[in-house]
């Protein structure tokens, strides 16, 4: 019976990694839509979020069944509860990708990101996508060292966020309030994707060790 339980638990974590991979695609495609003004691609990201929501529902259902039928204790209970929290974070990351895609769609046929802000936004998007990709591997491998190291990428995201604000507040900003609001929101969306990625990674550490990582920065 316990062997079956652990097989089912492994299946839940495999599903979590799969959702993370879906989120990675959403981040990448939303960014491409944003930087190219591709309305069709933006729509695909927006409509594709329903698949992430369905996958979340399936993981939640599996986890609740494990709780109700197997009555896990100690470390097993910790793992199931962590999985429920992780899937919520992953679903939120998908939602944030949709927000990026909606800004892209809103500004078509134009492009929401002015040329001078583009390097910073591109870097933020690259960091976010990389962090999501690493989280999928962390979930699959239960890699504590990689989970803790992910915090360093989050520090880079914070640095880029500060740079973005500096650009917006510069005296030579010439793109008006509308573009400034877009850039401020985009920075917030990418920053929150990174924050959620770190939170998921930290939950993996908790599953493996029973300890919460000490927050840095």
Residues 20-78 have pLDDT tens digits of 999 999 999 999 999 999 999 999 999 999 999 999 999 999 998 888 876 667 778 88
Residue that is written with structure tokens 């204790």 in the block? 73
Could you tell me how far CA 201 lies from the centroid of its own chain? Answer: 11
- Residues contacting residue 51 through CB under 8 Å, at least 6 positions apart: 22
Give the residue, 211 or 114, on which the prediction is more confident.
114
CATH number of 2-209, picked from 3.30.160.20, 1.20.58.220, 3.90.1150.10, 1.10.150.130:
1.20.58.220
Span 72-106, pLDDT tens digits: 677 788 888 899 999 999 999 999 999 999 999 99
Task: For residues 168 and 188, give the distance between their C-alpha atoms in angstroms, rounded to a whole number.
Answer: 13
Strand runs labelled E in the chain: none
For 62, residues 6+ apart whose C-beta sits below 8 A from its C-beta are 8, 11, 12, 15
* Residue of 180, 146, 178, 153 lying closest to 166 (CA atoms): 180
What tokens does 70 get?
């197997």
Predicted TM-score (pTM) of the model is 0.93
């Amino acid at each position: 019976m316990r062997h079956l339980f652990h097989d089912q638990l492994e299946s839940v974590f495999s599903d979590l990694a799969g959702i993370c991979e879906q989120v990675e695609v959403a981040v990448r495609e939303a960014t491409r839509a944003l930087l190219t003004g591709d309305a069709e691609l933006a729509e695909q990201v927006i409509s594709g979020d329903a698949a992430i929501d369905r996958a979340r529902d399936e993981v939640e259902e599996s986890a609740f069944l494990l709780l109700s039928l197997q009555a896990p204790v100690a470390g097993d209970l910790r793992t199931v509860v962590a999985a429920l929290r992780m899937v919520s974070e992953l679903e939120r990351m998908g939602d944030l990708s949709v927000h990026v895609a909606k800004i892209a769609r809103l500004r078509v046929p134009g492009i929401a990101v002015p040329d001078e802000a583009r390097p910073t936004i591109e870097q933020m998007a690259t960091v976010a996508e990389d962090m999501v990709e690493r989280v999928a591997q962390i979930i699959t491998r239960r890699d504590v060292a990689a989970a803790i190291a992910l915090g360093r990428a989050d520090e880079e995201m914070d640095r880029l966020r500060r740079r973005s604000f500096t650009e917006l507040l510069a005296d030579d900003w010439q793109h008006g309030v509308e573009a400034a609001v877009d850039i401020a929101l985009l920075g917030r969306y990418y920053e929150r994707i990174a924050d959620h990625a770190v939170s998921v990674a930290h939950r993996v550490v908790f599953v493996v060790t029973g300890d919460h990582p000490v927050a840095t920065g």
